[in-house]
Structure 1
Amino acid sequence: MKLTDTREIKAAPQVVWDAILNPEMLKECIPGCESLTGSIADGYEAVVKQKVGPVSATFTGLVQLSDIVPGQSLRISGEGKGGVAGFAKGGANVSFEPMEGGTRLTYEAEANVGGKIAQLGSRIIDSFAKKLADEFFTRFQEAVEDPEPELETATEEAVADSDEKKKGWFKRLIGG
């Protein structure tokens, strides 16, 4: 199954590129991700908890970034084993293009499952894969465009007291 979509992100191409390479950003954007450790070069070990229809599972596996063309494109791929639930693997080719007011992100994703999860049927699996891809890129877009919406008012007073310009967690990470 293949999924294709485009997002128009209101952030500079370099900010979007830095974000997609940031492991903390990946962890926050992967639905159900409980931990993500490792590096771009070696890949990331991930623990992801998901519920597909009536089947709940904790998947352990590997997330890798490959085919990296700096500032232009990369591939995010992952595969995990969920014990008796089965396995899941998939990936997305992601490209970045400057546009007026930000960056156009386009992705083509695919997913495959096996084991008990595969017995749920292709319609449930396809719907779930589409939901996961959409949720990842929605979270990514929201985090890049508005890094700390829920902490906005809580930090305003602290920032006013310190006379520093407020920065979101992501902007602090990339030094923006």
Structure 2
Amino acid sequence: MELQNSRVLPVAQDVVWVALNDPGVLQQCIPGCESLDRVDAHTFTVAMTASVGPVKARFTGKLTLSDVIPPKSYTLHFDGQGGAAGFGKGQAAVTLHKQGVSETVLAYEANAQVGGKLAQVGSRLIDGAARKLADDFFTRFAAIVAPGALAAGEGVPSDRDATTGRGAEAGSVASTGLPLPRKWQHRWWVWALMAILAIAAIVIGNHVR
């Protein structure tokens, strides 16, 4: 299954860059995300829970980067397991660029396949779940990096915090709003985290052809 899409984030590229260096911010933005860890310069692990119709699964997966052209593009490979619910694997070519002074565009071309119970879910439920997953991510991320949130020290509660009424933990980018450190300018790997949601949505949201 192949998928192409793009999103416009209403914030400048340097602000997006700072936020992407904060795993705590990203974990708040990914619905159902339990953990997000960097293994090395090219590899990440992620654990998340997702529901598609009657199927609910906890996915654990590995993300690997290749064909990196910092900070413009790269290819992201995903391999995940959801236990009895099924498995998923795929890859996406991701690009980022500025649009005007205060917007950033993320675009991706991806293909993926799944097996198990996830491959048996109806296409309407699958498409709806994938769209909601992506919309929730970008809504949360934009809210966190918005100028007002940076100035006020506000954040978006994680899934866990939403049930307790607690806000974002102190120390996230939303509570700092610091200038972009020079040493981060060559950390191209942070851009890859932005594509986790896209890959996860494709993997749980498309059946094997």
TM-score norm. by structure 1 comes to 0.71
* Structure 1 residues 32 and 52, CA gap change in structure 2 (3 angstroms): same
Q: CA deviation at 1:80?
A: 1.6
Alignment check: 8 A CA contact 2:98 2:104 kept:
yes
Work out the percentage of aligned pairs sharing the same amino acid: 39
RMSD: 3.0
Q: Which residue of 1 aligns with 2:115?
A: 114
* Structure 1 residues 66 and 105, CA gap change in structure 2 (3 angstroms): farther
| Unmatched 5+ stretches in structure 2 | 157-169, 180-209
Q: CA deviation at 1:126?
A: 2.8
SS of the aligned residue for 2:138 comes to helix
Letter in 1 for 2:23: P
Higher relative contact order (CA 8 A, sep 6+): 2
* Structure 1 residues 55 and 32, CA gap change in structure 2 (3 angstroms): same
Q: CA deviation at 1:81?
A: 0.7
Give the distance between the partners of 1:27 and 1:53, measured in 2 at CA.
Answer: 23
Alignment check: 8 A CA contact 1:96 1:103 kept:
no
Give the distance between the partners of 2:155 and 2:16, measured in 1 at CA.
Answer: 21
Q: Which residue of 2 aligns with 1:41?
A: 41
Give the distance between the partners of 2:57 and 2:68, measured in 1 at CA.
Answer: 31
Q: Which residue of 2 aligns with 1:155?
A: none
Give the distance between the partners of 2:40 and 2:23, measured in 1 at CA.
Answer: 8
| Unmatched 5+ stretches in structure 1 | 152-166
Letter in 1 for 2:85: A
Letter in 2 for 1:10: V
Alignment check: 8 A CA contact 1:48 1:58 kept:
yes
Q: Which residue of 2 aligns with 1:85?
A: 85
Q: CA deviation at 1:100?
A: 2.9
Q: Which residue of 2 aligns with 1:16?
A: 16
Give the distance between the partners of 1:113 and 1:45, measured in 2 at CA.
Answer: 19
* Structure 1 residues 40 and 101, CA gap change in structure 2 (3 angstroms): farther
Q: Would you say 1:149 and 2:154 are equivalent positions?
A: yes
Q: Which residue of 2 aligns with 1:52?
A: 52
SS of the aligned residue for 2:49 comes to strand
* Structure 1 residues 100 and 143, CA gap change in structure 2 (3 angstroms): same
Give the distance between the partners of 2:17 and 2:127, measured in 1 at CA.
Answer: 28
Give the number of the structure whose alpha-carbon radius of gyration is greater.
Answer: 1
